[in-house]
Each structure stands twice: as structure tokens, then as C-alpha cells.
Chains A and B, each alone.
Chain A
Amino acid sequence: MTQRRSYQVGTGLFILLGFTALAYLATQTTSVANFSQGDSYLLKARFTNIGQLKLRAPVKLAGVRIGSVESIALDPVKLEAQVQISVDKRYHQLPDDSSAAIFTSGLLGDQYVGIQPGGSPDMFKDGDEFVLTQSSMQLEDLIGKFLVNGSPPQKPANGDVPPAADAGKPAAPPTDTNKH
């Protein structure tokens, strides 16, 4: 009889252990772990290109996660991506002239929304929109610009690239690109 009881207790413990492991895997190692626990407020941002930004992607300030991407939609009139991000209520002191940009974590990493705090005395409120945004960097565009802008004498010939677009971009070292 005692042996039979020990079976049942052991079986119960085993099943419990299995489900604990499953619960641990499902909640601690997956995107479920990224759901913010407390209250949050929504902010909007418009980007001309969001790249590979995904739902529930992290929102970071100074590298610290403060929220996640809530929804991604295309504005049918302005033809821009409209991204809603939810920010943890603990971080309610974001200046309303902060800017949002889409970055890639590492070379192979996922994309996330990075926030640069501004200096305004007024803070963001629920539903506010970022005035300053910077779209995700498209590797293909960058390579294209490097190839086009690399050799300065040929610049006028390739008139299809507006000069303003490449003003802020670092040009490739001339020694490197003259070989092309």
C-alpha cells in the first residue's frame, strides 16, 4: 500500500515538474516575457520606412527597455507607416520633443525603436505623437548611395540621387571606391 502511494506521489511530482518546465519555457524564454506588467501609455510615431520592425519589438531609451511596439499600420492618406508604441507608466517623464528612430541591435539582431530624449520642459502625454522620427536604415539604400557617391567626379552624371540625401551620410573613403 505504501509503495502504491509513493507511485502516485511520484507520478504527481513528475507531472508537476513537467508542467512547471513548460510554463517556465513558455513565459520566461519567449516574447511573453516581454509583455509589460504594469500600466502603460501609448505614443504614436510616423516613419517613412520601418524596415523589418515587428509587433512587440522593444522600445529602448539609453539601451534600457521601456516599452514595446503595439501596432503597425499604414496611413492610407500620407502613405507613411504609423507605429503605436506603449511605454511603461514608470517612464512618464519623456520630454515631448524626444525623437524616435529605428535601429538594429547588432549585425544580425532584431530591429527596435530607440528614443533620444529631448530637452523640452513639457512631457509626453497618452496619445501624443513624436515630431522627430528617423526611419530604419536600409542596407540596400546605403550600399546604393556608396556606389553612386563614391567617386566625386562622376557625381553630376548620376543625377537621379538628390544631393541633399547624401549630405549627411559618410562618404566612402575615396581610395577605396576609386577602384570601381
Chain B
Amino acid sequence: MSAVRKEPSRIADALAQVGACGLFLFQILGAIPKSLRHIKETLRQIWFVGAMSLVIIMTCGLFVGMVLGLQLYYVLSIFGGTAALGTVVSLSLYRELGPVVTALLFAGRAGTSITAAIGLMRATDQLSAMEMMAVDPLAYVAAPRFLAGIIAMPLLACVFNALGIFGAHLIGVSWLGLDNGTFWSNMTSSVDVWKDVINGVWKSTAFGAVVALIAVFQGYTTPPTSEGVAYATTRTVVFSSIVVLALDFVMTAFLM
């Protein structure tokens, strides 16, 4: 009985959360002009969410590229088309894997730390204290992190892609003995700047905005307990991953 009565309220809760997150986006957008006065805070957050994520992004990019090189070499050798390895690796990295995998790693590495930091500020009443001192926490805490996510994500995705290409080159050319010229010339003849590289940048920018929004929102609205912060961190990863993959499908359909 109670389970049946609970279901509608849970759906309503989920809807309310989505709605609150949407409203929160507008609040952050409204606070951005004010947050530009604290531009140094934004730079500091770019350091935290971007530069500190570099190591994991670069390592994962290298390994993803190496795995792609191995797997696609195997698949392409069935059709006798190993010459297309560079093309296939670069296209799949630029168009899909680069933005998506970077966004998932970004949610795990940077999103969680954003949520935990803001959640602890909420739990220890620092946000209320800021309001008391007439410092808008939206402009000083939320907006800089949101902006940092938008700025850092495409840059991280580009680094990821570059390392991925390097890894595929390492496997394909240095290890499996593919011709270096074939690898690059096939790649350069079929990869387009706007259709492939820049579309990937748009995608990763959108993913950065989504992950940062979810992370900031979860931290901002967390119940002010240690358990609440823990749950909020988990929800950041879960929701960001789902939304990134769903948004990826929608954006791919539109950008194709």
C-alpha cells in the first residue's frame, strides 16, 4: 500500500528536481555578469577542474587511442583496409569518443569535487554566511565553477583527442608496422575541420556545461549532512553520465 502511494510522489520528486535544475540554470546565467567581477575565482576553478584533471585525461586518452588502434586494426585487416586506420581512429575520436569519454571522466574527476566542495559549504553554513555578508554565493561560488566547466571541458577533450591519435599512431605505425605516410595522408584526406573537429568541440562544450550544471546544482541543493553530501556526489556522477550519453545521441542526430 505504502509502495503504491510512494510511486507517484517519487515521480513528482524527480520531475521537481529536473525543474529545479532548469531554474537553477537560469539563476546561474543571471549571476554570470556579476561573477565576472570575480574573474580570478573563475581562473582558480579552471585550475581545479581543468588543469588538475589533465593527468587522468591524458592517461586515458593515450590508452583509449592505443586500444582503438589495436581493435580497429584487427577489424580493418578482415577487410584488407588497414590503410584506413588513421581515418577511422581520428573520426571516432573527434566525433564521439573524445567528447563523451572526457565528459564521463570529467564528471568523475571534477564534477564530484565541485559537488563535494559546494555541499560542504552548504553543510557548514558557509553559503548562508556569504549571503549574510552580502556576497551572492551564486555569483561567487556557483557561476565560476559553471564557467570553468564550460571552458575546461573542450580543452580537455582536445588534449584527450591529441593523446588518442598519438596512442593509435604508436600502435598502428610503431608496433603493427603500418606505413607512416598512409596513416597520416588517409587521415588528412578524410577528416574535415568543421564537420569533425569543431563539431566535437561543440559537443564537449555542451557536455561541460551539463556536467558542471549538475555538479553545482547537486552541491547547492544537498541536504546539509555528511550523508547528504555523500549522496549528492554519487548523484552527480550518475546523472551526469546519463545526461551526457542521452545528450550525445541528440547532438549527434542534429550535428550529423
Q: What 1/0 flags go to A9-37 for Cβ under 8 Å of B?
A: 01101110111011011101111111000
| Residues in A whose Cβ lies below 8 Å from that of B40 | 8
A160 to B46, CA, bound (A): 71
B50 to A11, Cβ gap below 8 A?
yes
A33 to B155, Cβ gap below 8 A?
no
B161 to A107, Cβ gap below 8 A?
no
CB < 8 Å A-B pair total? 104
How far apart are A131's CB and chain B's nearest CB, in angstroms? 28
Q: Does A91 contact B (CB under 8 A)?
A: no
Q: Does A65 contact B (CB under 8 A)?
A: yes
State whether A19 and B155 are in contact (beta carbons under 8 Å apart), knowing that A29-B165, A109-B186 are contacts in the complex. Answer: yes
A122 to B187, CA, bound (A): 36
A106 to B83, Cβ gap below 8 A?
yes
Q: Which residue of A lies closest to B161 (CB)?
A: A25
Contact of A105 among B83, B94, B154, B161 (CB under 8 A): B83
How far apart are A21's CB and chain B's nearest CB, in angstroms? 4
Q: Does B84 contact A (CB under 8 A)?
A: yes
State whether A30 and B193 are in contact (beta carbons under 8 Å apart), knowing that A21-B161, A25-B94 are contacts in the complex. Answer: yes
B188 to A18, Cβ gap below 8 A?
no
Interface residues on A, range: 20 to 34
| Residues in B whose Cβ lies below 8 Å from that of A107 | 79-81
How far apart are B245's CB and chain A's nearest CB, in angstroms? 23
Beyond contacts A29-B187, A31-B192: 17 other A-B pairs, Cβ-Cβ < 8 A, are A11-B47, A17-B159, A21-B162, A22-B197, A25-B161, A26-B193, A26-B198, A29-B197, A30-B192, A31-B191, A33-B184, A106-B81, A106-B84, A107-B81, A110-B186, A110-B189, A110-B190
A108 to B198, CA, bound (A): 25
How far apart are A105's CB and chain B's nearest CB, in angstroms? 7
Interface of B is mostly: helix
B51 to A8, Cβ gap below 8 A?
no
A22 to B201, Cβ gap below 8 A?
yes
A29 to B188, Cβ gap below 8 A?
yes
Q: What 1/0 flags go to B47-65 for Cβ under 8 Å of A?
A: 1001100100000000000
Ordered by A's residue number, 15 sampled pairs between the chains whose C-beta atoms are within 8 Å are: A7-B47, A10-B51, A14-B152, A15-B151, A17-B155, A21-B158, A22-B197, A25-B161, A29-B165, A29-B191, A30-B188, A30-B193, A106-B81, A108-B84, A109-B186
B158 to A10, Cβ gap below 8 A?
no
Q: What 1/0 flags go to B193-210 for Cβ under 8 Å of A?
A: 100111001000000000
B162 to A7, Cβ gap below 8 A?
no
Q: Does A114 contact B (CB under 8 A)?
A: no
Q: Which residue of A lies closest to B80 (CB)?
A: A107
Q: Does A83 contact B (CB under 8 A)?
A: no
Contact of B46 among A11, A32, A34 (CB under 8 A): A11
Q: Does A115 contact B (CB under 8 A)?
A: no
How far apart are B82's CB and chain A's nearest CB, in angstroms? 9
Q: Does A102 contact B (CB under 8 A)?
A: no
